[in-house]
Amino acid sequence: MNYYSQRINLRECARSNVIYLLLFALGVVFLTLNAFHDSVWYDESCSTAMIRHSFGEIWHITATSDANPPLYYLMLKAVTLIFGSKLFVLRLFSALGVLSLLFLGILPVRRLFDRPTSQLFCLFVIFAPVMISTAMDIRMYSWAMFFVTGCALSAHSLLEGGGRGEWVKFTLYGIAGAYTHYYALLGIGYLYLYLLGFMVMKKQKGVDRYFISLLCLIVAYLPWVNNLFGQMSAVSHNFWIQLPTMKSLLGGFALFPLRGTIDWVYTFPLLMTLFLALIPYVVALYHEKPSLKPSALYLFVYLLPIVTGVLVSYLIRPVIIHRYLIPVSGLFFIFLSHALSKNNSTKQKLFCIVCLVATSISCNYLIFTRAYRDDNTAAIRWVAKQIAADDIFVHTNFATFGIYSYYFPDHKQYLYREKGVAESASVNAFSPMGEEFSSTSFFSQKKQSMWLINPSDAWFKGGLLQRRGDERRFRRPYGPYTVYFDTVVNAQHALLPRL
C-alpha cells in the first residue's frame, strides 16, 4: 500500500469514527429524553416494588409469584444501592440497555457485516419507536434485547471461525438472557439449535466447545429450573393474556419492532422501509446470491419464538403478547439493516432513512407529550394534600394497586379480589404494605379513613360505606398502551361516626 492509499484509508476511518460518535450522541439524546417524568404504569410499579426487598427476597418473590426470571431485578437493585432509587435513575438504567445495543452496532455488527449495515442498525436502535419506548420503561426488555443480540452476534462470529473468546461471550450472553426474560431464553435456545445444525452440516470444528458451552448454560440455569416449572404451572392455570387474533398476528407480531406501542398512523412510513428492504432480499434469495445469507441467522431466530409462542397459545394457553417480542427485536433490525444495505438504489435508502427519522421525531414527541402531561399525577397530588398518616387505600384492580403503592409507600394498600379468583402474579412484590382481601367484612375491621380507587357501587348502596367527600375522576398516571380514568373516593365504614 502506497503513501496516498494510506492517507485515504486513514481519512475514511476518521470520517467513519466521526459518524459513529455523532450516532452515539444522538442515541444518548433520543433514548434518554423521556427518562425524567414522574409517572409510572403498573408493570413499572412491580419493578419499583421489587427493589425494596433484599437480593434473597427478590429471588424468592420472582420464583413464587412473578412470571419473569430474577436477573433484571437483581441488577436494578444493585444500581439503586449505588445511585439511589429515583425514577430517572431506574429509567436511565433501561436506556443504558439500549445504548449498549448501540455499541454492538458500532463494533461487532460492523466487523461481521460492513459499515452500511452497522450504520443502518445504529439508526434503527436510535430512532425505531420500539427502542424509544423500551428505553423509558422500568422493565427488563432493553437488557433482554441486548443479551439476545449479543448472543446472536457471538454465534455469527463462531460460524465465521471465532475463537475461545467468542465462545465465552456466547455462553455468558446466553446465561444472562436466560435469566432476564423467557422469550430471551427461547431465542437463545434457538441460537444454540441453529449453531449446532450449521456446525454439523458444514462439518465445522469446535463441536466439543459447543457442548461445553451448552453444559455451562445448563449448569448455570439449574438453580432456576424448578422455579421455571413452577411458574409454568401457575401460568397454565391463571394468566391474563388473551388468545392472539388474526389481526394481531398479521399486523402486530410481524411488524411490532417497527411500530412498538405507538399508533399505526405514526409508523406507516416505516412499513415502506420494510417493503424496500425486503425486495432486494427476496430477489437475492431467488437468484441464490450469497451476500444476504449471513442475515438468515437473525431472521430465523427472530421468527421462531413468535411461531412457538403462537402455537403454544393456540394449543395450550395464550402466552404471547406484542411486547414479549422485544427481547428478539434486535435480531430483526440486524436482518433489516443488512437487507436494506444491499438495496442498490441510493434514493431508496435515503427515503428509508428520512422515513425512519421523521417517524422517530413524531413518535418521540407523542411519547414526550403523553409522559410529561401534568394531569398524569393529578390524582396523586390531590390525595397527597388531604391524606392522613394512618389512611389506607382500597383498590379493585391491580393497576391502581401497584401505582398507588409506589406513590404512597408508607400507607397500606389493599386489593379486593372476589372469592374464587386466583391470585395474580407479582402481588407479593408489594408486601408488607400491600395485601389482598376477598370479603367485605374487611371494611368493618378498619377504623381508618379509606381512599377507594374505582370502588364498587354496591359498597355504598348496601350501606356498608359512607363517603367523606365528593367523588373525583382522574386520568390514570401514564401508561404506554391505553389511557384509563379512575374514580377516587374518600370514605369510611358506615357504622363509624364521621371523622
Backbone phi, psi, residue 479, to 5°: -130, 145
Instruction: With H, G, I as helix, E, B as strand and everything else as coil, classify residue 398.
Output: helix
Q: Which of 207, 209, 186 is nearest to 196 (CA)?
A: 207
Listed by start position, the domains of the chain span 15-371, 375-493
Instruction: With H, G, I as helix, E, B as strand and everything else as coil, classify residue 436.
Output: strand
Question: Measured in whole angstroms, how far is the alpha carbon of residue 99 from the centre of its chain?
Answer: 14
- What cell was used for 196? 449446532
The DSSP call for residue 493 is E
Q: Which of 441, 442, 439 is nearest to 412 (CA)?
A: 442
- What cell was used for 372? 410529561
The DSSP call for residue 414 is E
The CA distance from 202 to 442, in Å, is: 68
What pLDDT, on the 0 to 100 scale, is given for residue 5? 42
What pLDDT, on the 0 to 100 scale, is given for residue 498? 47
For cell 475461545, the residue is: 164
The CA distance from 467 to 444, in Å, is: 15
What pLDDT, on the 0 to 100 scale, is given for residue 409? 93
* 8 A C-beta contact, residue 26 and residue 122: no
The DSSP line for 130-185 is HHHHHHHSSSSHHHHHHHHHHHHHHHHHHHTT--HHHHHHHHHHHHHHHTT-HHHH
**Alpha-carbon distances of 76 from 79, 223, 366, rounded to whole Å:** 5, 20, 27
Length of the chain, in residues: 499
* 8 A C-beta contact, residue 486 and residue 445: no
Instruction: With H, G, I as helix, E, B as strand and everything else as coil, classify residue 428.
Output: helix
For residue 133, give the amino acid letter.
Answer: S
What pLDDT, on the 0 to 100 scale, is given for residue 474? 86
- What cell was used for 323? 411486547
The CA distance from 88 to 32, in Å, is: 9
* 8 A C-beta contact, residue 325 and residue 257: yes
What pLDDT, on the 0 to 100 scale, is given for residue 271? 63
The DSSP line for 443-484 is GGG--S-EEEES--THHHHTTSEEESS--EEEEPS--SS---
Q: How far apart are the first and last CA of the chain?
A: 90
pTM of the model: 0.90
For residue 10, give the amino acid letter.
Answer: L
The CA distance from 71 to 181, in Å, is: 9
**Cα-Cα-Cα-Cα dihedral sign, residues 240, 265, 310, 232:** negative
pLDDT (tens place) for every residue of the chain, 499 residues total: 444 344 445 566 777 788 999 999 999 998 998 899 888 888 899 999 999 999 999 999 999 888 899 999 999 999 999 999 999 999 999 999 999 999 999 999 999 999 999 999 999 999 888 898 899 999 999 999 999 999 999 999 999 888 999 999 999 999 999 999 999 999 999 999 999 998 998 888 889 999 999 999 999 999 999 988 877 766 656 666 777 776 666 556 656 676 655 555 555 666 666 666 666 666 665 555 555 567 788 988 998 998 998 898 888 888 888 888 899 999 999 988 888 887 777 777 777 777 777 777 777 777 777 778 877 888 899 999 999 999 999 998 888 999 999 999 999 999 988 776 655 556 789 989 999 888 888 888 888 889 999 888 888 877 788 888 778 888 776 555 556 678 888 887 665 444 4
- What cell was used for 7? 492517507
Residues pairing with 395 in the sheet: 415, 453
Q: Which of 262, 246, 264, 253 is nearest to 324 (CA)?
A: 253
Cβ neighbours of residue 472 closer than 8 Å, sequence gap 6 or more: 379, 382, 487, 488, 489
* 8 A C-beta contact, residue 402 and residue 389: no
Q: Which of 386, 387, 336, 374 is nearest to 477 (CA)?
A: 374
